[in-house]
Amino acid sequence: MTHDYRLAREKMVKNQLIPRGITDKGVLRAMGKIHRHLFVEEALIGEAYNDHPLPIGHKQTISQPYIVALMTEALELTGNEKTLEIGTGSGYQTAILAELSKAVYTVERIGPLLEKAKTLLGQLGYTNIYFKTFDGTLGWEDFAPFDAIIVTAGAPQTPQPILDQLTEGGRLVIPIGNRYSQDLIKVTRVKNTFKQENLGGCRFVDLIGVHGWNE
């Protein structure tokens, strides 16, 4: 396919991200660059840049572009970070993180989703992403601590292992709430205290695991 959807990406940035207050230059650049249409099912390619989430199979979704931008901006990435992502899904958010971090460690509980994302991100040339099929509510102990952690599924509360794996000064973004609606919470580790900020309402699929919801 020769159509690269450049215009659709530009419109997404101009109409969905900037007017809602996304200002981080790196985030806007990455979202204008990454070919989101490659991360959705073929039948949904025409909707890839629309202002809503889309199904990606296995009852999971690729997040709405604005939510990806909002969460990424909250991580305050400068290019030097070791970043942990819980919930690889399509791998779209992973690509955005890989553009803005030194290295990305991404964990997904559904094997086939992880494999598909890994193949695609490999084809796109990323060499700074590490993948694991695992229960991400336990974090990724072997490579901890992380400067930035993003959880892209909704949790009843912040899993303790994830807090423990945050560096001093590190940022975590996680949707917290019930199974139907959540608030996007930003946590910053200041010494051994955790400063919390509410970034607003959102709706995610369930974070399922030892420190999340039951299946």
Q: How far is the CB of 177 from ligand SAH (least distance, A)?
A: 15
Distance CA 166, CA 145 (A): 5
Residue 208 binding ligand SAH, by CB under 6 A: yes
Among the residue ranges 43-51, 73-81, 131-139, 191-199, the one whose residues contact ligand SAH (CB under 6 A): 131-139
Tokens of 131: 């993948």
Q: How far is the CB of 172 from ligand SAH (least distance, A)?
A: 15
Report how far residue 144's alpha carbon sits from residue 56's, in angstroms, rounded to the nearest whole number. 29
Options 13-21, 28-36, 84-92, 141-149: segment touching ligand SAH (CB under 6 A): 84-92
- For ligand SAH, which residue of 62, 69, 98, 166 counts as binding (CB under 6 A)? 62
136: contact with ligand SAH by CB under 6 A? yes
111-116 long-range CB contacts below 8 Å, 24 or more apart?
Answer: 112/57, 112/58, 113/56, 113/57, 113/58, 113/60, 113/88, 113/89, 114/88, 116/90, 116/91
> Given candidates 83, 93, 101, 158, which one binds ligand SAH under the rule CB under 6 A?
93
For residues 134 and 194, which CB has a smaller minimum distance to ligand SAH in the complex?
134
Kindly tell me which of 69 and 110 has the beta carbon lying closer to ligand SAH.
110
The window from 17-25, 57-65, 141-149, 189-197 that contacts ligand SAH (CB under 6 A) reads: 57-65
Considering only 153, 166, 184, 202, the residue that binds ligand SAH (CB under 6 A) is 153
181 in catalytic set: no
Supply the minimum distance, in Å, between the C-beta of residue 111 and ligand SAH. Answer: 10
Residue 177 binds ligand SAH (CB under 6 A): no
Report, as residue numbers or ranges, the catalytic residues: 63
Binding positions for ligand SAH, rule: CB under 6 A: 56, 60-63, 86-87, 89-90, 92-93, 107-110, 113, 135-137, 152-153, 205, 207-209, 212
